[in-house]
Structure 1
Amino acid sequence: RSTDYGTTYEKLNDKVGLKTVLSYLYVSPTNKRKIMLLSDPEIESSILISSDEGATYQKYRLNFYIQSLLFHPKQEEWILAYSLDQKLYSSTDFGRKWQLMHERVTPNRFYWSVTGLDKEPDLVHMEARTADGHTHYLTCRIQECSETKRSGPFSRSIDVSSLVVQDEYIFIQVTAGGRANYYVSYRREPFAQIKLPKYSLPKDMHIISTDENQVFAAVQEWNQNDTYNLYISDTRGVYFTLALENVKSSRGLEGNIIIDLYEVSGIKGIFLANRKIDDQIKTFITYNKGRDWRLLQAPDTDVRGDPVVCHLPFCSLHLHLQLSENPYTSGSISSKETAPGLLVATGNTGSELSYTDVGVFISADGGNSWRQIFEEEYNMWFLDWGGALVAMKHTSVPIRHMWVSFDEGRSWSRYSFTSTPLFVDGSLVDPGIETQIMTVFGHFSLRSEWQLVKVDYKSVFSRRCNKDDYQTWHLHNQGEPCVMGERKIYKKRKPGAQCSLGRDYSKTVVSEPCVCGQGDFECDYGYERHSNNQCVPAFWFSPSSLSKDCSVGQSYLNSTGYRRIVSNNCTDGLREKYMAKMEKCPGKAPRGLHILTTDGKLVTEQGHNATFIILMEEGDLQRTNIQLDFGDGIAVSYANFSPVEDGIRHVYKSAGIFQVTAYAENSLGSDTAVLFLHVVCPVEHVHLSVPFVAIRNKDVNITAVVWPSQAGTLTYFWWFGNSTKPLITLESSISYIFAVEGMNTVTVQVAAGNTLIQDTKEIAVHEYFQSQLLSFSPNLDYHNPDIPEWRQDIGKVIKRALAQVTAIPDEQILVAVFPGLPTSAELFILPHKNTTERRKSSEAD
């Protein structure tokens, strides 16, 4: 432990216990004095708590093993703990006592309440598997999470690992009928289904950003494998429009999906993305949140000042956009909120992104122009609110130097931070970026212990900045001063001024709105931008469908095909022309009525809830009567669509196929939709009833007896002998002719919903046979348990006895003991093989 930024360290082994093995260290995000250490779960389950920045510790044993912790964003004493056996615990005294909240919680799918949105500060959002085996979205308070106190904001089950609670939004995924459907709740309003373009047909969706009341999402569509399309939403997160196609994706160290999109810090609306075009990866930039994208202009000269021949669009600058998964390295691109316009990234010039021939590039004007500062890969850090840059070579060999620049990378000073070359594993820079202190850690050789090197830059920042040390910088997009609907002028430290900014530094000087132009508007949902820059309806979209949620006498916002980019601050100009217009709701007859089940399946079990969803493409939802006939003699009616939005539940008391009919009617017309639902009772047992002996080339009746008998509509699959394809029937009996003499196998499989059961029997097939019914003395019934194994063993006993007393060869005797009481059997005398062969020969003659 060091209290002087790494100048000296105090050993704490005796403070935590000499034999204690630690696995993780947490610092409270709301009170840096509070620290929690976790013991290694393979040795013991305990935590050590400090309230004095790690000077002293108290040890507490636990009855569960912690996998991860989540601290409350406001209340420093409140913590959630996730255990190795998928249980969620809560503590209100910084881990001294714990209370079980819920079992079977999905990893990393639990969230604290968001201030200003959730009514209770101790509310927890979680995704958990409930007693019915399905995954649900649940909420409860940390001290009141019994089954009666929990609530389910979404009525149906959801897909595993789909719950995301982020800022104003909550997202979930529900797969039905093989298709993924996504739902969003904005500011804790009821969930609405997310609307993507009709034929995007997503396979996967990731929420990239929820900044500034808008959602950036990456969607992998049905025809994509290693790329995603970027979509951007309206304020409520419901209606999404395409921002950029075919953005590169990759897998992280833990198998997580990483999208090559980077949001520039300090200036809203600027994003960088790596897009795949004809098997080449190229870097694009946008200044208006994805409405327009362009390639990056390559530098005019290289790092030595020699001219670079690189002309758009055939040649441009390409950047690696990955953030570091290691907190002790800088990642391939960096920008800071406190240094607007300054970007540093690893990349290359050429026709596409390279992974071998890379250097480091810098932009001081928000990505408009770039300069190359290094020919190899370097880790880059910002010091003193971004006023200074520190560079350290990214290499596997030991180094002793780092470089510092005070003029946005134009000139660099080399500093030696160690006398002996060090294999650098990483570095720590104070999160506040104000202290000008850096700790480098590594090792001198592969066998040596770790070394910590403190690098203090305070002497370099000789004084505090005054007004003469600043200059103004005008944000622009290739000379256009209006970015996101406003002109912005920033205050920046003059290049070369070696003064410290201080905590009270303010970066923005002037901000004023611009007149709204074409570039301030994007195409609304259902519209596409054509070559003339106009937004026109897509072939699948009917603009009149926007009025279906309103009733006659009310008004609705009718889209012009455009919507102003969220967070764009432009005024006047084209704003009035492109704004949605308030219009009276037209009366419409119901059209496009659909009925489906919530899980997308057309099979349900007898005695279980079946939930139906009714959808209507056009019509007045508030003034349309709905009737749903379940097909079993029961029907329900509703005056409008409001009560049926969450689904209509019904329990079928008998098995069968039922015609479910939905009927919608208003004063202007009506529409009907039909669904055929299979209601099944799970089958538990099947018995194949076959004769023991059959005559060749004659019909044999075979029956499958199913229990329970009232199982509804079943499908039977019949296999005979060595056939690889079954005969399929809806009847439980089948007639079959056996053409091959000898023992023939018969197998039946019975399918009911998701259940499949089978039975197999053998039939002896011969040209002819003799048979005789057998009866037994009553005392045999006392020993008969009436199970197949007993009947088989008794048959063997009878067969051996008959073979002895009759001198008939063993292979010509077959004894079949019948089920039930009194005990009875049938004796079959089969023809001798030679006799059968002689008969076949005479028939041939």
Structure 2
Amino acid sequence: MRGRMIKTKNVLGFESSWTYWTLFFLCALVPLPVRAEITCASCFAPIRRAAFVSRDFGSAPDGSTDKNWKWRLDGDQLSPEAHEKSPSVSWIEKLQNANISRAERTSPAEEKDGKVYPTSSPEEPKVNRREKRSLFPPESAAGSRFEFRRTGGVDGTGKSPRQNEPHLITSTFALSADSAHNQAMVLWSGPNSSVILILTKLFDFNLGTVTESSLWRSVDFGTTYEKLTDKVMIRTMLSYLYVCPTNKRKILILSDPEVESSLLISSDEGATFQKFNINFYIMSLLFHPTQENWILAYSHDQRLYSSVDFGKKWILVHERVTPGRFYWALNGLDKEADLVHIEARTDNGQMQYITCRAQKCSEEGRQYPFSGRIDTNSLVVQDQYIFLQLTTAGRTMYFVSYQRGPFRTIQLPKYCLPKDMHIVSTDEGQVLAAVQEWNENDTYSLYISDTPGVYFTRSLPNLHTFRSLTGNLIVDVYKVAGVSGLIIANKKEDSQMRTYITYNKGQTWSLLQPPVKDTTGHDINCNLPSCSLHLLLQMSENPYTPDTISTKHSAPGIIVATGNIGPELSFSNTGMFISSDAGNTWRKIFEEEHGVWFLDHGGALLAVTQSAVPTRHLWISLDEGRKWDKLSFSSTPLFVDGVLMTPETENHIITFFGHFNYHSDWQLIKIDYSSLFGRKCTDGDFQTWHLHNKGEVCVMGERQVYMKRKPGTRCTLGREYSRVVSAEPCICTLYDFECDYGFERQASGKCAPAFWYDVNLPAHTCSHGQHYRNSTGYRQVLLNNCREGLKDTLSPKMQQCKPIAPNGLQLSTINSQLTAVLGTNITFRVALQNVSQQVHRHTNLHVDFGDGISVSYSNISRLGDSITHMYRVAGIFRVTARAQNSQGSDSSFLYLHITSPVERIFLSAPVVVIRGNEANLTAVLWPSQPRTATFYWWFSNSTEPLITLEGSISYTFTREGPNSVTVQVSTGGTVLQDVKIITVKDFFRSLLLSFSPNLEEHNPSIAEWRQDVGRVVRATLSQVCGFPEDQMLVSVFPGSPTAAELFILPKTNQSEFRSHTEEQLDKVFMNALNQNLIHFDLKPDTRVTVSVSQLTLAVFLKRSCSHMIS
């Protein structure tokens, strides 16, 4: 799981659910940092020229050339498969466009005069294997000598093994020529081919160019190689090597553009090449997922080109394209196969999402699926989903398109307040995302969406994350291959990191059961929950070394991982562990870290030590790691730098890369392990295996039975192997369902509404006479196949729609600005919240631009962004929009300025004031603008503002009831506004309230949170005390500790406040508060109690309440 973060911005909360977010203390604004990108597991990294891992040759003290590797990273790179998802990556995908390198080790030959000469340099920066053309370079390539050697047993004598003993057939090829070359790339042509290509080159870091290069080709799985450079590529400096992912016979090689900008193209696996000159400098390539001749090329000057003849001819697609944010169309989703999704900067300087045909991307052929600008590095096109991000006034909103439909706003829990989002996966028809909440710093929370990717619920908080040296976000989440719903994650608890596992897609998590015995058969003293097994979940940056955790679709239930036993995850003193039953039980197989690979679809396991010492042995297990055979692959100990795995074919060949000692050439040892299997498997070689979760046989709503090869059976599955799975549905239980949006899992296992979620508000919209599915608080886990049981009870219920009036009318300009230059066209956007398209179609809209001109529309749904107007004179105009249908109406307005920017304005005002008394109103700005801003004040429906140069005024309200106050600030061409509703009464009573201390740690210090807490307290007081809710107001103050004031209001036109006497009020409210009867559940495990601090009587005090709206 990788990502990149470049910028940080400030986030401030919204004042309401669809306007600006605010985060205020009374006299200061405290911004929260947010990321300006959406990242994902398959996103590209920023690209620069000359990006590769390389080596330098140094001098040893004796003056000889040091041929060991010194790591440098000169940039980030991009592979043509970068759009594909991880971690399920085939070996052939890993091999394409990858460099191999010599490990930084000190051999015995380096020890002289009692001293060891250092040959290694700082550790290689980690670079995502999906973000590079090449990864690891070899010391040399070429050579004509090779030898065959048959080995068996552990002594390496070459004696023929007994018939029933596992044995290997090996051959060695030494790359003796071109020994000065410091980079190399290796690729296997394809799963049905024996062709291997190796490109070696000498890159001069001082000159910044390739000075020598050689291309070698093998047609016998690496037994021998032929040098092609001198025959077909004389005086051409080769730079990068690519293979077409849909036709592995097609090869494309880039020359070094510092010498010559050209391409070498082969259609016969490198047997012959044609050379084509190009007039631009290719930084990266992206092949079409189905069309073998279609390629996108990204240049060093941010231009995107396309070719439909495998690179022979190119045309420009678009300029100013964001690195790595371009995508081919997907079959079945996009209308045209040659459609390209692009994030690019347009002529107006804004970043936009653009689609067009690859060969017809003129302005006339471009489409803009998302109107308006987007954030840089936010476009992600992955499977059925498209993600975008837009930051306005410091608040970031995320959008998703499902199956290329219209974009919808992603709905996270209300007080998640995300600072960053990382897309983990989008397979299985839903989105798995890591979200950094407002109160998380070095951790993220795991969220799971519904099928359209709109509504997200939290599955696991405090995920362990870190950033690689190149800035990629690493999220410790691993989806186990072959078993649906099985996820392993590392969670941070206080200062410890611990490994958890779920069998039901995140509904319940548990620690891993530690092994019972160690590798010597002694008991392990480790008991849950204080001690458990912990695993490293890192994907390897090197395609020639395995991940720290490995699973395979064809070997369901087998998990091999690096980890440790104890109270927390450790990155040292790790060993190797295996589970044969999908993580229920574990066995320790090695005391030290090893590289472990699956052979023959998981029928055998290969292990090689990863210690910094040479070895001539490897380990083979044919019974899922219960017994290991130590076999020799070389008569001379080898420093193993990488293992090249062939695709799963009947050839059963692997290749070891490494070196014998300090001065030796690069060695390629080909190993044929086909003799491990005596025959092809038959029906009698398989056994059934029942998936379970700690004894519970119903997993993901099914009793799942797998057919697995019997441990120890020496038979090969072959290419035609397909695992057989039978499944019998189970009766639905509570944990076959996840909590729906707005609901949280309680300790009892039931889902209850979150404190902020109002279940009385319609969660769905439809037209009168129709029906909709109303949530019960649960939604069935995706791919869970349970039946009956609680399914009818927990499934959504059909409910008839009620007539709906226009609601939540929003009026804004398309760029969300309240200022414009005179004489320019201004586009207005009008939207209704929580209503269906049917309501839109039957709703009329009238817009008054405030300058004597107005327009009317009979169908809001057809408007789009077509409401435009040009003002002829400068000034401030009140633009009003009114939507109306047979059920009612709604209106919205804004004040538009036609003529030093501020980021935020907050109106601090009383909640309740005494009629006839002065009230103090203060506009707080962020950042502060002393004597540079003009303030405009509107009271109720006044059309003429009160203008001040100070941010504070006193005003006397004369009309009883709710009075609106609108304030705008104008400075530096920027205009912002805030609105408050103030209740005006002749008299009122008030109580000062306090809260139990456990509320403080959950206070994000934003106005909307305080409003919700006030609403919940008011409703609770009304229910417990029997006092009308419309005669109470609760204002929660900013700051800490959290406090509030309860205002008890008289009825309208009531001359005597004696419907409840003072004594009665004291008795009712004081008793309820003093007896702890007023409380609410902030979270499933957090109950907050409200108590009284002080009683006041405003009618006698004759004062305006000094406590401000927050």
TM-score range, shorter chain: 0.7 to 0.9
Q: Equivalent residue of 1:552, what SS?
A: coil
| 1:193-231 alpha-carbon deviations (Å, 9 max, x no partner) | 111112212121121111121111111122222111111
Counterpart of 1:753?
Answer: 973
CA contact (8 A) 1:105 1:126 kept: yes
Distance 1:592 1:243 in 2: 31
- Whether 1:6 aligns to 2:222 is yes
Counterpart of 1:51?
Answer: 267
Counterpart of 1:674?
Answer: 893
Counterpart of 1:531?
Answer: 747
Task: Name the aligned partner's letter for residue 424 of structure 1.
Answer: V
Distance 2:318 2:510 in 1: 49
Alpha-carbon distance change, 402 to 674 in structure 1, aligned in 2, over 3 angstroms: same
Residue ranges of structure 2 left out of the alignment (5+ in a row): 1-216, 902-927, 936-947, 950-969, 976-1110
- Whether 1:461 aligns to 2:677 is yes
Counterpart of 2:462?
Answer: 246
Alpha-carbon distance change, 21 to 417 in structure 1, aligned in 2, over 3 angstroms: farther
Counterpart of 1:798?
Answer: none
CA contact (8 A) 2:933 2:971 kept: no
* Equivalent position to 1:99, from 312, 315, 330: 315
Task: Name the aligned partner's letter for residue 460 of structure 1.
Answer: L
Distance 2:499 2:826 in 1: 50
Task: Name the aligned partner's letter for residue 270 of structure 1.
Answer: L
- Whether 1:158 aligns to 2:374 is yes
Distance 1:603 1:399 in 2: 72
Counterpart of 1:397?
Answer: 613
Counterpart of 1:281?
Answer: 497
Counterpart of 1:552?
Answer: 768
Counterpart of 1:172?
Answer: 388
CA contact (8 A) 1:183 1:192 kept: yes
Distance 1:572 1:553 in 2: 30
Counterpart of 1:663?
Answer: 882
Counterpart of 1:371?
Answer: 587
Residues 570-581 of structure 1 aligned to structure 2 (within 5 Å): 570-581=786-797
Q: Equivalent residue of 1:183, what SS?
A: strand
Q: Equivalent residue of 2:592, what SS?
A: coil
Q: Equivalent residue of 2:656, what SS?
A: strand
Residues 484-495 of structure 1 aligned to structure 2 (within 5 Å): 484-495=700-711
Distance 2:933 2:413 in 1: 42
Task: Name the aligned partner's letter for residue 414 of structure 2.
Answer: K
Question: Which is bigger in relative contact order (C-alpha 8 A, separation at least 6)?
Answer: 2
Alpha-carbon distance change, 340 to 646 in structure 1, aligned in 2, over 3 angstroms: farther
Residues 645-660 of structure 1 aligned to structure 2 (within 5 Å): 648-660=867-879
Distance 2:612 2:825 in 1: 62
Q: CA deviation at 1:112?
A: 1.1
Alpha-carbon distance change, 356 to 515 in structure 1, aligned in 2, over 3 angstroms: same
Distance 2:741 2:397 in 1: 17
Q: CA deviation at 1:51?
A: 1.0
Percent identity over paired residues: 59
Counterpart of 1:41?
Answer: 257
Q: How many residues were matched structurally?
A: 698
CA contact (8 A) 1:15 1:57 kept: no
Alpha-carbon distance change, 643 to 440 in structure 1, aligned in 2, over 3 angstroms: same
Distance 1:646 1:435 in 2: 61
Which is strand-richer, 1 or 2?
A: 1
Residues 233-382 of structure 1 aligned to structure 2 (within 5 Å): 233-382=449-598
Q: Equivalent residue of 2:612, what SS?
A: coil
- Whether 1:471 aligns to 2:650 is no
Q: CA deviation at 1:318?
A: 0.8
Q: Equivalent residue of 1:339, what SS?
A: coil
Give the stretch that moved more between structures: 537-546 or 240-249.
537-546
Counterpart of 2:850?
Answer: 631
Distance 1:452 1:628 in 2: 76
Q: CA deviation at 1:298?
A: 0.9
Task: Name the aligned partner's letter for residue 689 of structure 2.
Answer: W
Distance 1:655 1:452 in 2: 78
CA contact (8 A) 1:626 1:637 kept: yes
Q: CA deviation at 1:588?
A: 4.1
* Equivalent position to 1:117, from 320, 326, 333: 333
Alpha-carbon distance change, 548 to 298 in structure 1, aligned in 2, over 3 angstroms: closer
Distance 1:469 1:36 in 2: 44
* Equivalent position to 1:199, from 387, 394, 415: 415
Q: Equivalent residue of 2:752, what SS?
A: strand
Q: CA deviation at 1:515?
A: 1.9
Q: CA deviation at 1:34?
A: 0.8
Q: CA deviation at 1:432?
A: 2.6
Counterpart of 1:703?
Answer: none
Q: CA deviation at 1:39?
A: 1.4
| 1:263-285 alpha-carbon deviations (Å, 9 max, x no partner) | 10111111111111112111111
Q: CA deviation at 1:367?
A: 0.9
Q: CA deviation at 1:419?
A: 2.4
- Whether 1:188 aligns to 2:404 is yes
CA contact (8 A) 2:767 2:804 kept: no
Residues 501-516 of structure 1 aligned to structure 2 (within 5 Å): 501-516=717-732
TM-score for the superposition, normalised by structure 2: 0.60
Counterpart of 2:630?
Answer: 414
Q: CA deviation at 1:332?
A: 0.7
Distance 1:663 1:279 in 2: 55
Residue ranges of structure 1 left out of the alignment (5+ in a row): 683-723, 736-749, 756-845
Q: Equivalent residue of 2:230, what SS?
A: helix
Q: Equivalent residue of 2:396, what SS?
A: strand
Residues 713-732 of structure 1 aligned to structure 2 (within 5 Å): 727-728=931-932, 730=934
CA contact (8 A) 2:764 2:772 kept: no
Give the stretch that moved more between structures: 28-37 or 10-19.
10-19
Q: CA deviation at 1:454?
A: 0.8
* Equivalent position to 1:71, from 277, 283, 287: 287
Q: Equivalent residue of 2:298, what SS?
A: strand
Task: Name the aligned partner's letter for residue 972 of structure 2.
Answer: A
Q: CA deviation at 1:32?
A: 1.1
Alpha-carbon distance change, 571 to 415 in structure 1, aligned in 2, over 3 angstroms: same
Q: Equivalent residue of 2:684, what SS?
A: helix
Q: Equivalent residue of 2:372, what SS?
A: coil
Alpha-carbon distance change, 223 to 626 in structure 1, aligned in 2, over 3 angstroms: farther
- Whether 1:216 aligns to 2:216 is no
Distance 1:434 1:69 in 2: 32
CA contact (8 A) 1:383 1:434 kept: no
- Whether 1:424 aligns to 2:640 is yes
| 1:353-404 alpha-carbon deviations (Å, 9 max, x no partner) | 1011211111111111111111111111111011111111112332222111
Counterpart of 1:136?
Answer: 352
* Equivalent position to 1:480, from 690, 696, 709: 696
Give the stretch that moved more between structures: 601-610 or 168-177.
601-610
Distance 1:374 1:260 in 2: 23
Distance 1:339 1:148 in 2: 52
| 1:4-29 alpha-carbon deviations (Å, 9 max, x no partner) | 11111111222442432222211111
Give the stretch that moved more between structures: 9-18 or 636-645.
636-645
Q: CA deviation at 1:468?
A: 2.1
Q: Equivalent residue of 1:459, what SS?
A: helix
Distance 1:57 1:619 in 2: 61
Distance 1:155 1:227 in 2: 33
Alpha-carbon distance change, 49 to 133 in structure 1, aligned in 2, over 3 angstroms: same
* Equivalent position to 2:365, from 132, 149, 152: 149
Q: CA deviation at 1:240?
A: 1.1
